[in-house]
Each structure stands twice: as C-alpha cells, then as structure tokens.
Amino acid sequence: MPTNKEVRVRFAPSPTGDLHVGNIRTALFDWAYARHTGGKFIFRIEDTDRERVTDEYIAAALDTLRWLGLQWDEGPEVGGPFGPYMQSQRLDIYAEWAQKFLDQGDAYYCYCSSEELEARREAQRAANVAPGYDGKCRNLSPEELAAFLAEGRKPVVRMRMPDGHTTFTDLIRGEVSFDHNFVPDFVLVRGDGSPLYTLAVAVDDVMMKITHVLRGEDLLSSTPRQIRVYQAMGLSEAEYPEFAHLPFVMGQDNAKLSKRNGEVSIAWYRDAGYLPEAICNYLALLGWSPGDDREDVSREEIAQLFTVERVHSSPARFDMKKLEAINGDKIRALDLEDFLARVLPFLKRDDVVTGTEAELSVVRQALPLIQERIATLAEVTQMVKFLFVEDFVVDVDSAPKIADEQSQSVLKAALVALETLSDWSHEAIEAALRATLIEGLGLKPRIAFGGVRIAITGSHISPPLFESMELLGRERSLARIKASIA
RNA sequence: GGCCCCGUCGUCUAGCGGCCUAGGACUCUGGCUUCUCAAGCCAGCUACGAGGGUUCGAAUCCCUUCGGGGCUACCA
C-alpha cells in the first residue's frame, strides 16, 4: 500500500464516440478520489486505435468533462510534467519498451497470421480447451524464422506469460487471482508497429506515476496482463498501482446501457436540459453512497465524502426517472440569476427570445412561476413561449375544448369583466374573474379558469393564470380572449 | 464451453452476527392542498434468488445451486 505517496488517479477514455453515462461515472469517481485524497486527477486520451478514435470525439470528451466541472490537473490543454497525455503522441515510448521486452526475452516476435490463429482457436474450442495463443512462435528454429521472413510476414510482438498465476488485491472486490493457463501470451505491438492498449496503458500508468487505477470492471480480467507488463518494466509488487474495478452502469433491461434502453450520450442529457450538478449527483449514487440517507450532494460534497471502500461491487441500473427527480430538485434550488443564465441558451435555441433586455425582463418575472414546474431546462420553452409569440394560436389539441357553448359564454363573461378593469395586476385580475365567473355564474374554479387559460396561454397546462395574464399585459390578453370567441 | 465478477423493495441504496416485525430515496397507488400542471404534505404497496450448514442468534460467515454480467481480438 503506497502510504505517503501523493495519490495520482487517471481517467483514460478511448473516445470512439461521445462519452457516455458509464464513462462519466468512472470519470466522476476518479476525480472524486483524487480530490478526496488531495491528489492529482490526470486526464489521458487512449487513442492508439486510430481507426475508431477521431479528433471530434476527443474534443467532445474534453468539452464534456469541463462542462461537468471535473477539472483535471494534468492532461490535454493543461499539460503537466509527464506528458504528452495523448497516447498517439507517445508512440516512440511504447516502441522503446517493446524493444526492451524483446531484448530481455520477456516478449517475442510472433509470425502467426490472423487466419492461422483463428483456425487454431476454433480447434481449441472444438476440443474444449481454453482458447488462446498456443505459444507456437515462442521458440522458433532458425529455419522456421527464415521461412517466415522469406514469406515477408510482418510479426507482432507478443508477451510471454510465465507459468503460475497472478494475484492482486482489488480495492473493491478483494483478492482476485488468475491462473496463467487462462491468460495466454498477448500481443503488445501490431504487425504495423502500433501499440495495443495493454502495452500503452501499463507503460503510461507507470511513467505517469499513477497510484490508483479506478476503471470499469470490464478491464478486470485484463489486469494480469497489465501486471505482467509492470514486471517486464522492472517494477516490484510494492510499486504497482492499486486497482479498483468499478461496477457497470446498465440499462433498465439489465443489458449494458445502450441506445435501445436509455440515452447514453452525455451530450444528449446536456441538450435535454439536465444540469451538470444533477448528473454528477445522480451518477455518484450509482454504485456508491455516502453511507447515511443523504442523497442530495454537490460535487464538492462528493469529493469530500468519497471513499473507494464505499463503492459497491454489484452493477447498477440507470434510472432516468430518478435523474429527472434530482434534476428538478437542483433546478428548484437555483437562484434567479443563475436560473436565468442556465435557461437562456435554451430559449434562444428554440427561438423564443433573442436576448434583448426587454425580453430578459419578462423572462426574469416568469421564471419564479415555472421554477417548480419543470424537471429539465428544455421544458422552459413550452412554459413561457406564449409570452413571446407574435402570431398566437391555441394548440390544436386544446382548441376544441373552448369551442363549446359553455366555454364560449365563460369567455364572453370574462372579457366583459376584464375590459372594464383598470388595475392589471394579477390580484385584481383574479378578483374580477372570481367575482364574475365563480360568484356571478356559479361556476367551479376549474371550469371557469380552464377556458380562459387556454385562450391566454394556448394550452391547458401553463403557469398560474392570473400572473400569466399580468405578464402578458392587458392588450394582448384581451385580444387573445376576443380571438377565441367565435 | 472455459476463466473471472456479481446477487436486499420495480430501481438506486442503508445494513458489515443481535439495534431488522429490514431504514431512506425514486417510481407507482390513494388522500390532502389547489385556477391547470407542478411543487408540497400524509398514507400505502413491495425486497434479503434458492437450498444446506456454522452459531444461543444470520440479510450479514461458509458451501452448493440457480440467475445475471464481463473476458476469452493484431478493440478498449
């Protein structure tokens, strides 16, 4: 156990697409652990697979982490003493180590073709033997070697797994052991000379002095290979990083989270109006808990309370309903100016406002009315749109509801009551409508105000009616009621 | 198939041998409040996968079993 060493944790995604919920949960835990221990949070991009990782995805990953407020101490853009932090810029380092392993006899060239390997694996499966590399090229005779070279074969570099087993202590799962009979010799360098994850990840973790590897449990069974590379690099067991394999975040149907069983891309949640602090709060609760019954935690509190000991070993299902509930809570907790700032990009995006002072003033007055009525920021549009539209029309679904005789007579009565009203405050409007419709016509409030609401806001769901009318103003309110009378 | 990981309400979880007739949150249901929708408040439904042990005592420890997942690549 490294005790007085500074803790260094890395988040090292391979951006083959938009960062998804699972990536971010890992990033959050990495970040929280680093912050909790007063250590460093390192962000590294694993882009050795250049077929699948693109610059756009890398840029999006940086943006997403920043948006979530997971500030990294070392990594792309900020640099650091152990850079570069993009694996594609460290190719020479991996090549050097591979050569060293070759020289030491820890690794060897393997000339087997993909087709040959596949055929042999098939045979192993058929014979019910553990599939994996059979060690054919471990000790090639000079004649065999010469024959392969004459064929012009491009060899891969393969790590030699000695007999025995690898045992390590996972901070979350306890002692885990793998028999090397089930950990075949693995490839370090491709035929074209490019490194594989297994080589790059181990080399980088050592060279970047990573002390704790918190990552997804899908990497658990690759840990013996990673440890094998440490050994070849000359590390003693005490120098290995600690491992903690985080449980998966899964979809509702217990399958890996995917497009089919819930939205995965963090970008989607951002566009839908989820707050970064809500996402962090919710994700923190997936596989971890503070221990008491507390569920409302800020990023800072997560950092303060987070310990690996409290991380679960069992997978968690992602529940959008719960995220939504937390998001609603976080929205309600926003102060007015903050709320306005968050909501404005959505109003502009949806062409509700352009951002003039006059518009902002109205929005500012409307926000307190809707703050407890929305669960995501994007919903703000449908709630306040009626205050800004030039050519107002009632929703097609709601229009028929005010076309009947009773509704029409209510609207007419309301119009009469309001036309003579001099004070256009919501109190006065309410008093006038109550006097006329409730007391005068003996209607139930629900019936009385329902029609007016539709005429004014265009929908049967809206912010409180009288405040809405006050905000809309006398002219437009009366015009809308008139327009709805056939 | 083999190796490895995992198993408390529908979901996230508390629980680390007695405080558990199993607590909280989300969801759902019913009610209150109410100008709609929300929010808020109150109430309710529902769980230790199964079977064996160990123990005075087990959700908690052990074994088996069943179920779920991961890995088994010149992906990560």
pLDDT in tens, A452-473: 999 999 999 999 999 999 999 9
In the sheet that holds A165-170, the strands lie side by side as A40-43, A8-11, A212-216, A242-246, A165-170, A174-179
Please check whether the two domains, A90-246 and A399-484, share a CATH topology.
Answer: no
| Residue closest to B39 C1′ by Cα | A372
Q: What are A189's two structure tokens?
A: 């360098």
For domain A399-484, the question of CATH label 1.10.10.350 is answered with yes
In the sheet that holds A156-159, the strands lie side by side as A107-110, A156-159, A187-189
pLDDT at A291: 85
Helix segments in A371-398, DSSP class H: 380-384
Determine whether the distance from the CB of A180 to the nearest atom of strand B is below 7 Å: no
| Backbone dihedral angles phi then psi of residue A236, each to the nearest 5 degrees | -90, 160
A316-362 pLDDT, tens digit per residue, is 999 999 999 999 999 999 999 999 999 999 999 999 999 999 999 99
Q: Match domain A90-246 to its CATH number in 3.40.50.1370, 2.40.50.140, 3.10.20.90, 3.40.50.620.
A: 3.40.50.620
Domain ranges of chain A: 90-246, 334-377, 399-484
Determine whether the distance from the CB of A129 to the nearest atom of strand B is below 7 Å: no
Nucleotides of B under 7 A from a protein CB: 1-8, 10-16, 23-27, 34-40, 68-76
pLDDT at A1 over 80: no
pLDDT at A225 over 90: yes
Q: What are A97's two structure tokens?
A: 């180590």
CA of A334 to C1' of B18 (A): 46
Q: How far apart are CA A187 and CA A198, in angstroms?
A: 8
Determine whether the distance from the CB of A384 to the nearest atom of strand B is below 7 Å: no
Residue entry with tokens 């995501």: A376
Q: How far apart are CA A146 and CA A275, in angstroms?
A: 63
Q: Name, in order, each residue with C-beta under 8 angstroms of A60's C-beta and a sequence gap of 6 or more.
A: A15, A18, A19, A267
| Backbone dihedral angles phi then psi of residue A341, each to the nearest 5 degrees | -60, -35
pLDDT at A93 over 50: yes
CA of A476 to C1' of B7 (A): 61
Rounded to a whole number of angstroms, the CA Rg of chain A reads 32
Determine whether the distance from the CB of A254 to the nearest atom of strand B is below 7 Å: yes
CA of A251 to C1' of B28 (A): 20
A14-52 pLDDT, tens digit per residue, is 998 888 899 999 999 999 999 999 999 999 999 987 878
pLDDT at A262: 55
Predicted ipTM beyond 0.90: yes
**Annotation says A259 is catalytic:** yes
CA of A312 to C1' of B59 (A): 16
